[in-house]
Amino acid sequence: MADKVVVVTGAGSGIGLAIATAFAGAGARPVLADLDVTGCAHLGAVTVKADLGTSAGVASVVESAMAAYGGIDVLVNNVALAPYRESFESIDDAAWQRTWDVNVMSCVRLCRAVVPVMVARGGGSVVTVGSEGARHPKPYLVDYGVSKAALLSLAKALSIEYGDRNVRVNTVAPGPTRTATMDAFLAALAEEREIDVAAAADHFVREMRRLPLGRMNEPADVAEVVLFLAGERSRQVTGSEYAVNAGSTASM
């Protein structure tokens, strides 16, 4: 990835930060976007504070990348909202719209701006971070699951339209991953069952999710697959969905 210009959204924490770190370590030139970029400031990359649920926020990211490097080789659509919902009825139109704008329209707008740039440069790679929730939806994350299912369809359509112009479009679908959100869930589970967090994590992995590998993802596990799909080692891969879920059969 030496000197490749890579835009990563939602890069301030969790999986996005791991992806940004992986690309920086591979010699890329990352452009990192999030509402809060303090978490990735240490990487020495171009950072853009932006609300990616708006057209102005997306435009600021693309403009920053073009101003700094004159082009974009890789786009990683990672930014997402995953709010816990008490019930389907509790989600009003504004909440649905916000989830859709951040999770789906950020990807639509970025692809619309960036893919033509890639075409002009002779090709590129788009990798969208989806979720097992697209195929195994959970009632308390219903709007999130719907948005992730939409991203699968978008990636497939773009892979067909732009394949003959050497732009590859793929999706990575993480399963349970040790992010801050997961840690908060495990802390609540530990309190509920009156056990420590390590025991709660073991219960989640072995009893609740029955993960064949016996462990959750670390963010870096997802980042490595994104890095693979972005580079030349996957030059014959497009329109694909890579599950990174410790073998979870629940998402199949």
Tell whether the torsion through CA atoms of 231, 6, 153 and 157 is positive or negative. negative
> Cα(186)–Cα(201) distance, rounded to whole angstroms?
6
- Quick one: which H or E segment has residue 151? helix 142-162
Catalogue the active-site residues.
144
> Cα(93)–Cα(232) distance, rounded to whole angstroms?
42
How far is residue 42 from each of residues 12, 35, 38, 65, 197, measured CA to CA in Å?
A: 11, 16, 8, 18, 29
> Cα(60)–Cα(66) distance, rounded to whole angstroms?
10
> Cα(32)–Cα(141) distance, rounded to whole angstroms?
26
Beta bridge partners of 75: 7, 126
